[in-house]
Amino acid sequence: MIGKKLPFTKEQLEKIAEEYPTPFHIYDEKAIRANARKLNTAFSWNKGFKDYYAIKAVPNPYLMKILREEGFGIDCSSMAELELAEKVGLRGEEIMFTSNDTPAEEFKKAMDLGAIINLDDISHIPFLEKHAGIPELICFRYNPGPLKEGNMIIGQPEEAKYGGTREQLFEAYKIMRYKGVKRFGIHTMVASNELDTNYFIETAEILFDLIVELSEKLNIRFEFVNLGGGIGIPYRPEQTPVDLNVMSEGIRKLYNDLIEANGLAPIKIYFETGRVITGPYGYLVSRVLHIKNTYKKYAGLDASMVNLMRPALYGAYHHITVMGKGHLSHQTPYDVTGSLCENNDKFAINRLLPEMEPGDLVVIHDTGAHGHAMGFNYNGKLRSSELLLRENGEVMQIRRAETIEDHFATLDFGGLAKFEV
Ligand SMILES: *Cc1c(COP(=O)(O)O)cnc(C)c1O
């Protein structure tokens, strides 16, 4: 049985759960900081390198503050995300606005904040101009279509709704140059949760080639290349993570051969990753409520897919540790479920685990990205709290759990009395 590491013991976790009732997500600050530094160090050869953390992965101001301290920017794609960035104190080019199907007021907000606008489509140029004006710096999202193989979550680039074609990009930059834009960037993101290191090197090559051609044909100078997010994490214990140093070295070589050699340097390399930065360092902690034996064996938790949707949505694997039972044999196949009236509400199916009993603390791993954030309120289930395990071992609540009052806040029970049926 291959395990996964935890930043707390069973005794420590029981103490935390005494103060903060399960279920909750808990994030490991020390590991997140170390990981953020690892990425920055890997790319330290590139002056101006920056990762814009995709805030949708964990839209929590405390985590954002930590990452900003590590030199990260923020990648937003909605009004709430822009306002969150603003509330944390981020401004200007610390914010990348990579949206699609964008409402006018979001462009306006992004412009007001001085964010880098990353346009998803050529048709957004007149829309942006009409509602928010033309910025001094512009970026376009490229969709390489058949040039690139897709993967499970995003799908084939040709089938993906994001970005513009090669021909459209030439036209789009030309229009923007004509409109007086002087500063340019380019972006692509074609994969999600990809574990093949070469994939990102190949993506860089596609973009570098395109930069060479665009720069030459249009006589514009690129300031940055945004390689997007999508770097995967090893959800399964036997998987290996993307080697950030190998990836960086591969990209560095291409940078020398294509960007430097063509006199196009310096170009800053940006990413907008979420998962690879925080994903492995978040944990959903839950307790077994019931053990049920019918045609199968079920362990029913006090968490459900409203707290973590990935297994139900993508059939995603999330490793499970039953606290204090790691040394026992893992030979009992369990379906680990939540309480929704929805049969997909399962964290694992036929997972071999040690014998469980009600009250056992269960940790679901790798929930530090697209975990709590994807939550919802079906069946009136409430969103859980989020906790931060500080570097000094203290635990801090960085989001309280929802209450029934929060959940009913948009309903008007007062009007019922006057409501004629
Ligand atoms: C979701 C998303 C990201 C982050 O993806 P990760 O898999 O968390 O790295 C970055 N950029 C855009 C445009 C996205 O939609």
The finding on whether 310 has its CB within 6 A of some atom of ligand 1 is no
Per-residue pLDDT tens digits for 91-109: 999 999 999 999 999 999 9
CB atoms within 10 A of CB 25: 28
pLDDT recorded at residue 152: 47
Give yes or no for residue 142 having a pLDDT over 70.
yes
Confidence at residue 30, expressed as pLDDT on a 0 to 100 scale = 98
Q: Which of 56, 118, 231, 277 to mutate to test the pocket of ligand 1 (most atoms within 8 A of CB)?
A: 56
Residue among 225, 163, 236, 209 at smallest CA distance from 1: 236
Looking at domain 280-407, its CATH class is mainly beta
Number of H-type helices and E-type strands within the chain: 12, 17
Best residue among 272, 281, 314 to mutate for probing ligand 1's pocket (most ligand atoms within 8 Å of CB) is 272
Q: What is the pLDDT of residue 207?
A: 96
**Is there a catalytic annotation at residue 139?**
no
Q: In this predicted model, what pLDDT tens digit does every residue of 318-350 receive, in sequence order?
A: 999 999 999 999 999 999 999 999 999 999 999
Q: Supply the pLDDT for residue 151.
A: 53
Binding site membership of 369 for ligand 1 (Cβ less than 6 Å): yes
State yes or no: pLDDT of 2 exceeds 70.
no
Which pLDDT score is estimated for 148? 65
Residue 286: pLDDT band (50, 70, 90) is: very high
In this prediction, residue 150 carries a pLDDT of: 55
Share of the chain above pLDDT 90, in %: 93
The pair phi, psi for residue 50, each rounded to 5°, is -150, 140
The answer, yes or no, to whether the previous bond of 358 is cis (omega within 30 of 0) is: no
- Name the residue at shortest CA distance from atom 3 of ligand 1: 229
pTM value is 0.96
**d(Cα 394, Cα 264) in Å, to the nearest integer?**
48
**Mean of pLDDT values over 7-20:** 98
* Mean of pLDDT values over 219-246: 97
Task: Tell me if 230 CB under 6 Å of ligand 1.
Answer: yes
Interatomic CA distance for residues 186 and 264, integer angstroms: 14
| pLDDT: which is higher, 135 or 153 | 135
If we measure between CA atoms, which residue out of 284, 305, 390 comes closest to residue 17? Answer: 284
| Secondary structure class of 372 (helix, strand, coil) | helix
Q: Which residues of 339-363 are buried (b: 16+ CB within 10 A; e: fewer)?
A: bbeeeebbbbeebebbbbeeebbbb
Mean of per-residue pLDDT scores for the chain: 96
| Confidence bin at 32 (pLDDT 50/70/90) | very high
Tens digits of residue pLDDT in 108-119: 999 999 999 999
- φ, ψ for residue 364, nearest 5 deg: -100, 125
Q: What is the pLDDT of residue 190?
A: 84
Say which of 167, 178, 341, 415 is annotated catalytic: 341
Evaluate if residue 147 carries a pLDDT over 90.
no
3-state secondary structure of 241: coil
Q: Evaluate whether 369 touches 57 at the Cβ level (below 8 Å).
A: yes
Cα of 382 from ligand 1 centre, angstroms? 26
Tell me the domain boundaries of the chain. Answer: 29-278, 280-407
CB atoms within 10 A of CB 27: 27
Q: How confident is residue 156, by pLDDT bands cut at 50, 70 and 90?
A: confident
Q: CB-based contacts of 313: which residues, under 8 Å, 6+ apart?
A: 374
* Ligand 1 atom showing the smallest separation from residue 141 Cα: 13
pLDDT surpassing 80 at residue 356: yes
Q: What CATH number has the domain spanning 29-278?
A: 3.20.20.10
Task: Answer for the pair 196, 163: CB distance below 8 angstroms, yes or no.
Answer: no
pLDDT at 22: 98
